[in-house]
Structure 1
């Protein structure tokens, strides 16, 4: 007798995943190598790093490198950032005409000051007509490609925009709305307000999928979010840093199977080795191994690894050196209980940096001067 399925598959346009999980686009993290590593663990939708619409339209070499996808990556999910409806429309049309992706997600959730000070990311839904114009430009130029949006609750507690923005996006024809249940002012601090995800699910038509994001650090967290909110799927960001096997846990949990045993240190170092190998494959020896450095602390969180060895791993310069350093670790050390929970950036709340007079008129359609970022990746 097969195990009971805990949740229905997630459908985005014509694409379906039996595991209702999306890898959040993270700047400097969700490159081709990392996406492949995560896909090897379990099913889901895996989204590339944020791509700027201007960088794509102008065929910026860095941007064009970042949108390279694995031949077996399906569906190919691309997140686009933009503040100008015309540029977004041109970028989405380019994606469609050149067959660059199968699914386009629009970024309205980034709280980083260099983005919000231009009116982008989490600042943009406050300008409700401009937001709607951007979403409509994307949908109108996408043809059969499904368009989704990701947003936050609002700029701050006094300026909550998510329900109005989500309704406008749904009316424009998006396939799904993802909500990071924090305000831009919270950044990554405090606790995500899952009740906002539940209110969003109640506010939208059933055919528009609602995805919940925020504080999913384990499979149990994902099941709890779905149970508490009724959302159609979950978006995982910081929770998978140094823990790509989380996607295997999620696949098992949503299928009603027992979770795999937590990895011991030997299995973790094997995953680190695989990660480094993939980064080198896609980025080259020099860039790949240096990109791996930032992941070391996340992988080794909670394990009794000495400070000097951690420092050496954080400065590793070749795959051979990585092998040599990892060989000195005891593979039988069990996964530490205190390694669960929050990881990655948390920081503290703060005032959101906005363009001058941004809050004066929410119906203003003016695109801020210099709003479009040239370089992709956040």
Structure 2
């Protein structure tokens, strides 16, 4: 699969751009486990133009992350064009336009998936951004605004006609938010449309390697993108690739192995975000890394409340000591803590 001249190989697996999740520390871990293409957190065009410090910081990318895209969102065409020029100077591999975010404060002012209510403006914004950068421009979007306007087949053609090099489609409408099941039927229709010649990447509800293979096989997409299932599981990329290549599930990780990954992630978070922010932003990941461990309530509470990095390391050592080679979901439980009560 190629995005312009960028060759991503066969059946690439993408990390979805997610606010407050896909920061440099998390991308570091996902790349380690084989993510083929990653994106920054989505960036507010207006904040970028105003030179807001927290927004500009999201432009920071590193060579080991490549290929990587910078994703922008906004509802004013001129602002998005200017932001695309600024983002181009950061030298990513791709500029991606966010036409998919369903969050109310974004969509209701016409940005993100809110742009799907004004397709002509969506197309014009895309055309202007394509003209403003030498980089490949891609789009991430949804099936439509609601069940009465699932117009992604038309939208995909029109965006292709103004020069995008790939499209990622989340299998829900904006009205669904993240509720219900993702419907890949229309994603498949876009891919099968004989007038489409750019790569089509499918997104939505891919929670493991078997589901990933099913989406490739059933809908013929060129790539898949994984979002929420990466929380506390950056190794999902290795799991998917192993299954696609060998047709068998990768051996599940032990708690000891997860502790090692969480420790590396924590160190990267402090490195990139500093003590306070790095500690706070790791909390969601810690909770996910150790989900399913029996009788874990007390340790989880401490992980999610401490502000001391030394205490975090002590807690991680304690988890390793107590749970060792325990595998969540396994019938075999070597941990002596399995029979204890919270």
- Please say whether Structure 1 and Structure 2 have the same fold, judged by a TM-score greater than 0.5: yes
After superposition, the CA RMSD in angstroms is 1.7
Residue from 2, 19, 23 that aligns with 1:31: 23
- The 5 Å alignment of 1:7-26 reads 10-18=1-9, 20-26=12-18
| 236, 243, 247: which one aligns with 2:233 | 243
Alignment of 1:1-378 (within 5 A): 10-18=1-9, 20-96=12-88, 98-143=89-134, 145-203=135-193, 205=195, 207-256=197-246, 258-329=248-319, 330-336=323-329
> What is the distance in 2 between the residues matched to 1:318 and 1:215?
35
Q: Tell me the alpha carbon deviations over residues 26-53 of structure 1, each in whole angstroms, 9 at most, x when there is no partner.
A: 1100001100110001141011100111
Does structure 2 retain, via aligned residues, the 8 Å contact 1:277–1:319?
no
CA contact (8 A) 2:60 2:90 kept: no
**Deviation of 1:198 (Å):** 0.5
User: Which runs of 5 or more structure 1 residues have no equivalent in the other structure?
Assistant: 1-9, 339-378
1:347 maps to which residue? none
Aligned residues: 327
Indicate conservation of the 8 Å contact 1:166/1:204, yes or no: no
Runs of 4+ aligned structure 1 residues displaced above 6 Å come to none
Deviates more, 1:290-299 or 1:212-221: 290-299
Distance between the aligned counterparts of 1:127 and 1:272, measured in 2? 43
CA, structure 1 residues 235+204, in 2 after alignment: closer, same or farther (shift >3 Å)?
A: farther
**Could you tell me whether the CA contact under 8 Å between 1:105 and 1:150 is conserved in 2?**
yes
The answer to whether the Cα contact below 8 Å between 1:42 and 1:250 also exists between their aligned partners in 2 is no
Determine helix, strand or coil for the equivalent of 1:91.
helix
- Against the structure 1 CA distance between its residues 262 and 205, is the aligned structure 2 distance closer, same or farther, given a 3 Å change threshold? farther
The answer to whether the 8 A contact 2:59-2:87 is kept is no
Structure 2, unaligned runs of 5 or more: 332-342
Offset at residue 328 of structure 1 (A): 2.0
1:129 is paired with a residue whose SS is helix
TM-score normalized with structure 2 length: 0.91
1:290–1:316: 8 Å Cα contact kept in structure 2?
Answer: no
The DSSP-based 3-state class of the residue aligned with 1:274 is helix
> RCO (CA 8 Å, sep 6+): is it higher in 1 or 2?
1
Contact 2:67 2:93 in 1 (8 A): yes
Q: Contact 2:126/2:162 (CA < 8 Å) preserved in 1? A: yes
Question: What TM-score do the two structures reach when normalised by structure 1?
Answer: 0.83
